[in-house]
Structure 1
Amino acid sequence: MRFLLNWLLTSIAIAIATFIVPGIAPFGPGEAWVSFMFVGLFLGFVNSLVKPIITAISLPVTIITLGIFQLVINSFMLELASWLSINILGAGISIASFGSAFIGAIIVSIMYAILNGVVEE
């Protein structure tokens, strides 16, 4: 049940980021919410499988930058989830540049935290 809730909250956060950041747009046939759900699903998988490995490898850089490099890692995870969802399922979000992914990852993180706080109350 918790997985489904996290998937829904992540998808909503991605939808909000898509409407705020100019370089991110839904991609693929069908409704936009399907694209958000696919990317949310893949972002959950990427964050649980790939992100811990990348975080461990980049730990020295993260320590030197006092944690700021974690934002770059989050950006790459969003781009990877978008790429996977488009190439495997045919729908997702298209990200125009790394700057769009960077701002999008920040907004997704903030929106997810807010939504999770609202649901937990």
Structure 2
Amino acid sequence: MRIIIEILLTGIAVSVAAFVVPGVQVDGFINAIIAGLLIALANATIGTLLRLFTLPINIISLGLMSFIITVFMVLLVDAFMKSFNTSGFVSALIFAAVLSVIKMVFSALK
């Protein structure tokens, strides 16, 4: 049951972030859920490997490199999904920031 709630909250977070950030579009709630799951999956697999390879830069930049990798994972999901679109790096950057704030609020409310 907890997994289903997490998936629904991820869909809501992606929907709200896409609504707030100009240049980001998601076609429907189901596609927002899929986009959120794909972003999480990309971060857990490819993102982890990239963070491992960029560990020295990540330490020097105080974690900024990790955030940039997350932005690239958003752009990767954008490239794979027709129903999730960002208009470029800046909108993906703002989307990733808004998405993490929304998910942080959801985590605090649990």
TM-score range for the pair, normalised by the shorter chain length: 0.7 to 0.9
Tell me, yes or no, if structure 1 residue 70 matches structure 2 residue 61.
Answer: no
- CA separation in 1, counterparts of 2:51 and 2:87? 24
Q: 2:11·2:30 contact (CA, 8 Å) conserved in 1?
A: no
Q: Following TM superposition, by how much is the alpha carbon of 1:48 offset from its aligned partner in structure 2, in angstroms? A: 2.0
Determine which of 34, 41, 44 is the counterpart of 2:37.
41
Could you tell me which amino acid in structure 2 is paired with residue 98 of structure 1? F
Identity %: 28
Cα distance in 2 for residues equivalent to 1:92 and 1:46:
17
Distance 2:7 2:42 in 1: 12
How does the TM-score come out when normalised to structure 1? 0.81
TM-superposed CA distance for 1:79, in Å, is 1.6
- Take 1:80 and 1:3, find their aligned partners in 2: how far apart are those partners? 24
Whether 2:12 is the aligned partner of 1:12: answer yes
State the distance in 2 between where 1:51 and 1:105 align.
14
Q: Report the equivalent of 1:51.
A: 47
Distance 1:40-1:102 versus aligned 2 partners, 3 A rule: same
1:102 equivalent in alignment to 2:93: yes
Q: 2: CA distance between counterparts of 1:59 and 1:77?
A: 17
Instruction: Give 4+ residue runs of structure 1 displaced > 6 Å after superposition.
Output: none
Structure 2: tracts of 5 or more residues without a match: none
> What TM-score, normalized by structure 2, do the two folds share?
0.88
